[in-house]
Structure 1
């Protein structure tokens, strides 16, 4: 069974990420920084993916490199522990959801980006 989100355009969910962050006083630049940190896309590449209306499956398939520290992202999103998700694509999507949640909750960028 293919998850519906896999075929959803990333550009359709991106404004929801922005809205969630901006409602809590965070910025578009911070949202973009999180996405580029996780995926390895440059800012320009991210904008291209948004313009192409790439679906989530293709977005993550095109990602230059998932950040090696992504495995440090732990916690619950939508009632599911992100570290326990078996489907690699769903796990990457939930990693991103978790990072945006942390941003909206006021966590410092260094902690969100798993900097030591």
Structure 2
């Protein structure tokens, strides 16, 4: 667990989402999903292996009570792959948040950069 100072960190700003009062973001540096519980006022590592490696940038959004992470992977100097990972969240017997990867796949390959994400239901 990390204390409140991490809440002020610029590393996660712009790539977070909130589900049922818990803030989530995916850290490309440590390759883990983190949660910040407003009641406990601390960051925690979300349990579970979600296997999202080799990425340079990530954006986290909420969709249908799931965390969706959009990831950018550099293929070469001029080409990237954009990946999408759907992560289901559950609490275990001790109340800890656990992640399960529901789906992950490449959704775009080409000359682009991941900037911001917005989820729309149509």
TM-score (norm. length: structure 1) = 0.30
The structure with more helix, counted as a fraction of residues:
1
Higher relative contact order (CA 8 A, sep 6+): 1
TM-score (norm. length: structure 2) = 0.29
- Report the structure number with the largest CA radius of gyration: 2
